[in-house]
Structure 1
Amino acid sequence: RQPDLVPLAVQTGARIIVPTGALLGLDAVRAAAEGTIYSVHMITRKPPEGLFGAPHLLENDININNLSSAKLVFEGTARDAAEAFPANVNVAAALSLAGNGPENTTIEIWADPHVTRNTHTIKVDSDATRFEMFIEGIPSPENPATGLLTPLSVLATLRGLVATMKVGT
């Protein structure tokens, strides 16, 4: 939690840039936030090995070894998800910042032995639109907690800072 970052950025003239990460559709979420967002909900499913060592699992003695079916390991706000799974759900932070905030974005995290990719299903309901998005990200071989798309998103964000043409918001 860094509640002082935005005021500090305003005071110093700095900008805080949050890459999209492994998400899709943040332009639509940001556009919906120009009106009234009623709800933002994300369901994340990861292979169990992608969640090993997460503070929430260790602190709550949640065993995800040898699962035979999907297990709900977290349900709460994006703010709590970011603290409980700091290496796993950067997508929750980006989604909540684009939408209706970390306290009003709800997250489910599942350890699922039947998935081989990190999946995110996002549902948004607002006064302007209602939509659902789904993405399957290939986990990084070096770090299964994150996907291969995440570093590419960072590169795209950096290139966008100096690009002549910008696509999307």
Structure 2
Amino acid sequence: MPSTRVGIAGLGAIGRTLAQRLARGDLPGLDLACVAARDAAKAEAWLAAEGITCPVVPLATFPDHADLAVECAPAAILEEICRPMLEAGRRVMVLSCGALLPRPDLVDLARQHGGQIIVPTGALIGLDAVTAAAEGIIHSVRMTTRKPPTGLMGAPHLERHGISVEGLTEPKLVFSGTAREAAAGFPANVNVAAALSLAGIGPDRTSIDIWADPGVTRNCHEIEVDADSARLSMRIENIPSENPKTGRITALSVLAALRKLQAPMRVGT
């Protein structure tokens, strides 16, 4: 297969991991082509310190350098990353998939120009099974998320409703509603719920409860799916990365998804 040029939008914890692995040649058939960062000078200094030769370019010019962009940036700039690539018929791997829910026009844009939006499994388990069940009839999908309080601090939903998670000594239910509402209220915390809803029965029929739990040190997710083909019950405990809002497995999921692009054998849906 021809080599795929990969651009990384954002050099936070996940973006740096991807850049290091791509630069080392850990993913055959994939080349690190460019990066974009809010602070270009800081990004250039980090790349130089890591011995990585790669241009730092504006998001608008990504299609000139890359066949695939990996979004590792704040959800607020999703359109700045996606639009140039999709209009050029390129592919974008989106981690902030909660930001896709209010932007169905991006999917339309991909369809019109022959581009593609890829949502990796991320911090979830069993997404393949949910996708398969959706080919039949899914009756209900419910998710319960428990996170250390520090991983939820600053969420718009908490600030909007004056909900404090500081100094908790017992679990506190801070949200109960749909995946669409959760994605708006916790844009940095529950992309897992958005991915689950996109794989299954949509963001308005997927329910989620979010707990701030001082008794856990990991990001915990429990999922119950009732379908005409199977009843699924899944639980995952993700170790947080250096960013407490993101699980360490998220970066590994992106690496696995990238590896599938050029693999001679693919396992999983």
Q: TM-score, normalised by structure 2?
A: 0.62
Q: Which residue of 1 aligns with 2:210?
A: 109
Counterpart AA for 1:18: V
State the distance in 2 between where 1:155 and 1:60 align: 37
Q: Of the two structures, which has the highest relative contact order with CA contacts closer than 8 Å and spacing of 6 or more?
A: 1
Stretches of structure 2 lacking an aligned partner (at least 5 in a row)? 1-101
Residue 135, structure 1, aligned to residue 236, structure 2: yes
User: More deviation in 95-104 or 1-10?
Assistant: 1-10
Stretches of structure 1 lacking an aligned partner (at least 5 in a row)? none
State the distance in 1 between where 2:250 and 2:256 align: 10
**Consecutive aligned runs of 4 or more in structure 1 exceeding 6 Å deviation:** none
Give the share of equivalent positions with the same residue, in percent: 67
Per-residue deviation, 1:34: 0.4
Residue 125, structure 1, aligned to residue 245, structure 2: no
State the distance in 2 between where 1:157 and 1:90 align: 16
Per-residue deviation, 1:128: 0.8
Cα RMSD (Å): 0.7
The superposition leaves residues 49-71 of structure 1 with CA deviations (integer Å, 9 ceiling, x where unpaired) of: 00011111111100111111100
Residue 23, structure 1, aligned to residue 161, structure 2: no
State the distance in 1 between where 2:267 and 2:144 align: 27
Residue 49, structure 1, aligned to residue 150, structure 2: yes
State the distance in 2 between where 1:6 and 1:104 align: 20
Map 1:70-89 onto structure 2 (within 5 A).
70-89=171-190
The superposition leaves residues 65-112 of structure 1 with CA deviations (integer Å, 9 ceiling, x where unpaired) of: 111110000111111111100000110111001000111100110000
Residue 164, structure 1, aligned to residue 240, structure 2: no
Counterpart AA for 1:100: I
Tell me which of 163, 169, 180 is aligned to 1:68.
Answer: 169
Counterpart AA for 2:262: V
Name the structure with the higher helix share: 2
**Which structure has the larger Rg over C-alpha atoms?**
2
Counterpart AA for 1:61: G
Q: Which residue of 1 aligns with 2:252?
A: 152
Paired residue total: 168
